[in-house]
Amino acid sequence: VSAWEELDRRFGDDAEPAVRDRVARALLATGNVLLELERSGEAVTVYEGLARRFGDDREPATRDLLSTALVKKGEALQAPPAE
């Protein structure tokens, strides 16, 4: 997770479509790992951040990642709370 966060920190504001795609993929992977670790609240925060940052993106690949993030957010919201 920390490696993906570092990638976001270093390249998150880059306007190049290929770099934006990598950042979006890293954020999606971060959310997925957090969801697998039963840290659904944190996963929702990551998915929402991805939607906020890339919601207006016109690149088809990024739009696909965004739709996946929204589905995963739904899964995270349905997950039982961590004990």
Q: Which two tokens stand for residue 43?
A: 């996963």
The alpha-carbon radius of gyration of the chain (Å, integer) is 12
Reported confidence tier of residue 6, pLDDT bands at 50, 70, 90:
confident
User: Rounded to an integer, what distance in angstroms lies between the CA atom of residue 57 and that of residue 79?
Assistant: 28
Q: What is the pLDDT of residues 19-59, one digit of tens each?
A: 888 889 989 999 999 999 999 999 999 999 999 988 898 88
